[in-house]
């Protein structure tokens, strides 16, 4: 997968998360996010291989292949590889956006306001806010 496509996904995550960072913070955030996405794609790709293909893959890595060769390996060993990886990417993006938005909400929540419920109900602040939101709807 080309770096341009990964950067587009990272930009989309940043835009949908609706966060404002300084230029330097944004650059660092996007670089870390891109590395996390690459790691996720790599680990999920390996997980899709059967045991014999995994052994073959690790032997293949010793030849120091370039990115296109690695992708070709996965395409030749995993049915519908591109569709499966697209699904992995979409799920990753969705999870990251949800985590960012949850963090923003939690950071702006007066936790002391819910401290009695935290003790009484053995719930996390996230669970209390979700329950409260269900009642409002």
Structure confidence by residue, pLDDT tens digits, 18-71: 778 889 999 999 999 999 999 999 999 999 999 999 999 999 999 999 989 999
Cβ atoms of 47 and 128 closer than 8 Å = no
Secondary structure class of 124 (helix, strand, coil): coil
Lowest mean pLDDT across 7-21, 55-69, 122-136: 122-136
pLDDT score, position 44:
96
B/e letters for 70-101, b = 16+ CB within 10 Å, e = fewer, are: ebebbeebbeebeeebeebbeebbeebbeebe
């Amino acid at each position: 997968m080309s770096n341009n496509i990964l950067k587009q996904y990272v930009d989309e995550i940043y835009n949908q998360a609706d966060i404002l960072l300084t230029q330097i913070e944004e650059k660092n955030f996007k670089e870390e996010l891109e590395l996390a996405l690459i790691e996720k794609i790599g680990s999920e790709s390996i997980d899709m291989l059967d045991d014999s293909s995994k052994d073959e893959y690790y032997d293949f890595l010793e030849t120091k292949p370039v990115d296109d060769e690695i992708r070709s390996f996965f395409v030749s060993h995993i049915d519908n590889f591109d569709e499966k990886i697209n699904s992995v990417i979409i799920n990753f993006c969705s999870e990251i956006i949800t985590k960012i938005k949850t963090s923003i909400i939690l950071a702006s929540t007066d936790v002391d306001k819910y401290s009695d419920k935290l003790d009484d109900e053995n719930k996390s602040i996230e669970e209390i806010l979700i329950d409260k939101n269900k009642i409002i709807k």
